Amino acid sequence: MKTVIAILFTFIGLSSYAQTNLDDYKYIIVPKKFDAFKNMNEHQTSTLIKFLFTGKGFTTVYDDQLPEDLKFNRCLGVVADLQDDSSLFSTKTIINLIDCNDKIVFSTMQGISKEKKYKESYNEAIRESMRSFNGMNYTYSAKSEKDEPVTVNFKNDVKKLDESKAAAVLKAEKEMKEEKTTKNTAVVSKETEQTQYYNDRTPVASNIKKKAPETSVLKNVEVNKTMKQDIWYAQATDTGYQLVDSYPKVRMNLMKSSTDNVFMAKTDTKNGMVYQKEGNWIFEYYENDKLVQEELHIKF
């Protein structure tokens, strides 16, 4: 009995210590791509972790959408890192919270899933890991805002200016950053229990090529028109049609292709193709290295 009580007090002490530590941080920063994966938001891990942290009362942001105070003072937040210890038959995850000094300030329990599909298994394992935050009444203490901020630009230099100039510089800098963020937003995401989507709007190279002018090809085309009274009649065959004249004599054989109204054509002396263009039937073939188009009068 004494052993059980001692273990309970140990867990209560560790839980209180973890909560005190996390109360010092204003933000949970979720990477859009974890080191364990090749792709952004693979298996919806990023959107799921952000959703779960938000549901437990934390202010959660993506690593490329930091608010202004977090940009100037990186120690206001901790990064949620997904530790993937999966094996061949099970998915195992631990979520580590890492501060601005690259130190792990909190690690969850290991979540385990034996689901076969990756998306379902990571979803189950991550949710089990996040049970470590159950019952944790997180309240931001604002302690880290009292510390000296970690700066990434010339903000500290503003202290040397008078108050009016400092305000003007900060305002201009903020407007520039907001404009840049608005123009360069490449990803739109939404995380809810029922809906999780992640659209990457990063521009990609187009594979559409400009159509080359056809004038140079047409110069080498010779168009012949048969006499109007020279009408050929189409008779169905196993492979297509045979065209006969009024005698009747077989003048041409048409063989079906994979495209409607396009046939491979053969006469006693010529091989080519017959197709329909603007309501007319055209026999196209090469003669003495010159492309010839001959208009046919066919009745089917």
**Tens of pLDDT along 134-156?**
888 888 887 656 555 544 554 45
Which residue do the tokens 């689901």 mark? 115
**Burial group, residue 300, by CB count within 10 angstroms (0-12, 13-18, 19+):** exposed
CATH fold for the domain made of 2-150+185-200: Rossmann fold (3.40.50)
Outline which parts of the chain fall under CATH 3.40.50: 2-150+185-200
Predicted pLDDT at 12: 43
**Burial group, residue 30, by CB count within 10 angstroms (0-12, 13-18, 19+):** buried
| Sequence-distant contacts of 81-89: CB under 8 A, at least 24 apart | 81/31, 81/34, 81/35, 82/34, 82/36, 82/45, 82/49, 82/126, 83/36, 83/107, 84/34, 84/36, 84/37, 85/110, 89/114
What does the alpha-carbon distance between residue 244 and residue 235 come to, in Å, rounded to a whole number? 8
Predicted pLDDT at 272: 94
Partners of 77 in the β-ladder? 27
DSSP, res 144? H
Predicted pLDDT at 241: 93
* Residue numbers of the chain with a pLDDT score lower than 70: 1-20, 143-169, 177-206, 209-229
Averaged pLDDT score across all residues of the chain: 79
Cβ-based neighbours of 117, under 8 Å, separated by 6 or more: none
What does the alpha-carbon distance between residue 174 and residue 161 come to, in Å, rounded to a whole number? 17
Predicted pLDDT at 230: 79
Predicted pLDDT at 212: 61
DSSP, res 90? -
What does the alpha-carbon distance between residue 78 and residue 6 come to, in Å, rounded to a whole number? 31
Q: Pick from 92, 98, 84: which is nearest to 128 by CA? A: 92
For the entire predicted model, the pTM comes to: 0.47
Predicted pLDDT at 161: 47
What does the alpha-carbon distance between residue 27 and residue 17 come to, in Å, rounded to a whole number? 18
Residue 174, classed as helix, strand or coil, is helix
